[in-house]
A and B are shown apart, each in its own frame.
Chain A
Amino acid sequence: MNDLVDLLKKMLTAPGLSGFESPIREIIREAWQPLTDELSVSKIGSLHGFKEGQGVSPRKRVLISAHMDAIGMMVTHIQDGFIRITEIGGIDHRILPGQPVVVHGREDLPGVVVQPPGFLLPDSVSDGPVEMKYLLVDVGLPPEEVLEKVRIGDTVSYAQEPLELTGEALAGHTLDNRVSVAATTLCLEALQNRNHNWDVWAVASAQEEETLGGALTSPFEIRPDIAIVIDVCFAKGPGSSDWQSLPFGEGVGLGYGPNIHPALFDAFEKKAKALEIPYHRDLMPKMSGTDAMAVQIVAEGIPCAVLGIPLRYMHTPVETVSLKDIRRAGRLMAAFIADLDDTTLDKINWEE
C-alpha cells in the first residue's frame, strides 16, 4: 500500500517484549533519526525523540507517549527437548495452540506452540481449553540441541507474518502498540513542515504491558506540561460489540475518564471537528489501560489526553487495524501540537 505499511511491517517483525525492547528500539531510532533533533534512551529503555519548538525559550513541552513493547512469552522449563512457557503481558491461553513463535535463545529458533494430546495432560483438563502451564513449544531440534540453545528466562515472540486485508486493513501481532509508534512517526513527519512553538518529546515507552515502567520514568525526566498518550483501543468485532468497542476503521478514539484531563479532551474534540477527522468518545470510566495511568501521576501530576486507534482481536497474533485510523491519529496529533501556544496552558484548567 505505501510507506506506512512498510514501516509497520518492519516494526512488527522486530522483537521487543516488555523489558527486552532493544531490537524494536533500533528500528524506531532509525525512523525517528531524520525527524528529530536529538535521540536518547532512558534508564529503563524508553526511546526519547526531541524536536525543538520554534517558540521563545523557555518553551513549554508536550510529550507523546506510545509504548513500543510487545506481549509474548518466556521460557520456564525445558523437558525432553520441549519448552514450557509463561506469559509476558496478558495472553488468553486459548489462542496459543498452533501458533508460530520464535524462541530467542542463543539464536532465534522458529517453533510452534503445542497443545499436547489429552492423555498427556491432567484429567482435570479433559477436552477443555489447555492452560499455558500445560502447553509446550517445539522448535524441531533434538533435545540436546535445545538444551544448548535455550535457557530458562529466554523470551518467546509471536511469529505470525503480517497480512494485508481488504479496505486498508492490516492484521498481525504486536499492532498493539506499534501502530501508535507509526502514528507518532506520521505526526513527527507532518511537523517537519509546520511551525510549532512548543518542544515536542516523542517517547516510545518501555514495559507498558507489564509494569508501566517507561510511562512512569520518561515523563519524570522530561517534565512535560501536557502529555498525549496514544495506544490501541477496542474495535467492534466478534465477541466485542458493547459500549467498550468503537467502530472499526471509522475514526480515532478520544479517551474520556479520570485518566484524562477534560480540557485536553475538549481541545482534541474541537480540533478533530475542525479538521473533519472522524472520532468517537472512548469511555474509560475507571482507568484507561494505557500509559496515561502512569504519566498522569508522575511528579506533581501531568494533564493527559488519550488517543485510541481501534483494533480488533487485541493481544492475539492476528490483531487487525485500519491504516486510515493510524493516519487520522498522526494528523490529529500534529494539528493539535502545531496549535499549542503561550495561552494553551491557561486553558488546561478546572474552571468548569
Chain B
Amino acid sequence: MTKNSELTANKGFDIGEQQIELLEKLCNATAVSGDEHEVRQIVLAEIKSFADEIEVDALGNVLAKRFGSGENRVRVMLAAHMDEIGFMIVKKHDDNLFQFERVGGIDERQLPGKAVLVGRDHLAGVIGAKPIHMTTADERMKKIPVDALRIDLGPEIGDKVKPGDRATFATRFKLHGPSILAKALDDRFGVSMLIELLKHPPANIDLLTAFTVQEEVGLRGARVAAYKFNPDMAIAVDSTPAYDLPHWDEEDENVQYNTHLDAGPAIYVMDRATIADRRLVNLFTRAAEAEGIPYQYRQPGGGGTDAGVIHKTRAGIPSISVSVPSRYAHSAIGLARIEDWENTLRLLHAALSRVTPDLLAGERRG
C-alpha cells in the first residue's frame, strides 16, 4: 500500500504501523457477544501500563481510568464495544455437522459458502451450500434458511466442538491501497482508539474508558459501565455503515448513504436510540473546523450505539456518538479507510482537549 510508508512516523495521533498491527490483532480475535474474552485480554495487556485504575466488572466490561491534571476536570466517559456479531453452535447432528444460531444482526444471505472459526481454539470450519447443479432456478430465488445451514469441521471433529461454542467468520485482516478489509471493524476501530487515547490522554479531563460487552445484543455492558462511572458526559466511539454505493438504476441518486467513506469521522445528531446533546455536536464540529479535520454528519435515522443506554443512565448523561464510516458491517468482510480512522482519532483528541466545565455548565439547549 502506498500510504504505509508515509504512516510510519507516529506523530501522536497519526495511524502508524503500531496502530495498524494492534487493529489487525483486534480484528482477527474472536469476541462474539457474551464471550469477549480474547479482546478483553488484548485490551488489558495494552492498557496496563497506562491506566491509573483498571477493573473488569460483573458483566465483563473493562473499565479503565486515566486522570488528568489541573483543577475542575470534567469526567468524560468513552465507550467502545469489544463484542462482535457471530454465531453460537446449538446442536451437533449425527452426520458430524453443527447447527448454529446467529448472535447479533446478520443477514442470512451473508452466510452460505463462508469459512468460519469455531471455539477458543479457532478450529476451521465451513458453512457449505448445496451444489448449484442440484438446485432449480426457482429455488435460487429463495433464501437459504439458517436452520438448513450447517458448520462442517471435517469428519473427525469428535468432541472438540460442542453446543455453546461461539464462531465467527474466518476473515483475516488485509490492507489494500487506502483501505482496510477485515471483520469486526465494528467496533474494533473504537477499541483501538480508546487504547490510543489512554496511551496519549488529553490532560484537561479525567478519561473514563469503557470497553463494553454485549452491545450487539442489547447495549448491556454500556448501561452498567455508565452507572459505575457516573460521568459528566459520554461519547460512544463506534463504526457506522457507509452505504455509499451506486444505485442499480444509474439515473437514480443514492440519497440514503448514511455516511460516505473518505469524508472523515461521522458525528451523530440523532439515531434510533439517542438524540445527541447539541453542545457536544457543536464541540466536535468546532474542534474539527479549528483543526482542519474533515467530518460529516451521519444521516439521522436508524441504528444505535452504546450512547442509547448511556444517556438515560442515572439522572441522565449528556451524550453523543462519533463513528468511523465503514462498509459492509455485520458481514464477513468490512471495508474502511485508514484515513477516516485516523481522522476520527484526531477529532476525538481535538474535541476532548477542548472540554471545559463551561461546556456543560448551562441547561441543555437545542
A→B interface (CB under 8 Å): 79-80, 82, 90-100, 109-112, 114-117, 119-122, 127-130, 134, 136, 138-142, 145, 160-161, 163-169, 171, 234, 236-240, 244, 248-249, 289, 312-318, 320, 322
Contact = CB atoms under 8 A, between A and B. Distances in A.
A79 B252 CA distance: 13
Given A98-B328, A115-B109, A249-B155, A82 B129 contact: no
B128 A312 contact: yes
A83 to B, nearest CB: 11
Contacts of A99: 113-114, 332
B331 A98 contact: yes
B150 interface: yes
Interface string B95-134: 1010000000001011011110000000111111111111
Contact of A141 (B131, B144, B177): B177
10 contacts: A82-B245, A95-B113, A95-B129, A96-B113, A119-B243, A129-B142, A140-B335, A167-B155, A238-B149, A317-B113
Identify whether the interface residues of A are mostly helix, strand, loop, or mixed. Answer: loop
Contacts of A98: 110, 114, 169, 328, 331-333
Contacts of A100: 171, 181, 332-333
Contact of B115 (A80, A110, A142, A171): A171
B141 A114 contact: no
Nearest to A112: B333
Interface in B293-344: 327-328, 331-333, 335
Given A112-B333, A166-B154, A314-B131, A95 B124 contact: no
Contact of A313 (B109, B113, B327): B113
B132 A128 contact: no
Contacts, number: 207
B41 interface: no
B86 to A, nearest CB: 14
Given A90-B132, A92-B132, A240-B131, A165 B328 contact: no
A129 B155 contact: no
Contact of B176 (A109, A114, A163): A109
A114 B115 contact: no
Contact of A120 (B160, B246, B327): B246
Contact of B125 (A161, A165, A239): A165
A97 B248 contact: no
- What are the 9 A-B residue pairs with the smallest beta carbon separation, nearest first? A165-B154, A140-B179, A167-B156, A239-B130, A95-B113, A313-B128, A166-B154, A314-B131, A318-B126
B163 interface: no
Contacts of A115: 107, 109-110, 331
Nearest to A249: B155
Given A140-B178, A165-B125, A239-B134, 19 more contacts: A92-B129, A100-B171, A100-B333, A110-B181, A112-B328, A116-B246, A117-B245, A122-B249, A141-B177, A142-B177, A165-B124, A168-B154, A169-B154, A239-B130, A240-B130, A240-B134, A244-B134, A249-B155, A318-B114
Nearest to B158: A166
Contacts of B245: 80, 82, 114, 116-117, 120, 136
Nearest to A141: B177
Contacts of B171: 100
B155 A160 contact: no
A129 B109 contact: yes
Contacts of A112: 181, 328, 332-333, 335
B365 interface: no
Nearest to B337: A140
Nearest to A110: B176
A93 B174 CA distance: 25
A138 B335 contact: yes
B14 interface: no
B157 A166 contact: yes
A301 to B, nearest CB: 26
Interface in B37-94: none
B5 interface: no
Contacts of B130: 92, 238-240, 313
A139 B154 CA distance: 32
A89 to B, nearest CB: 9
Contacts of B154: 165-169, 320
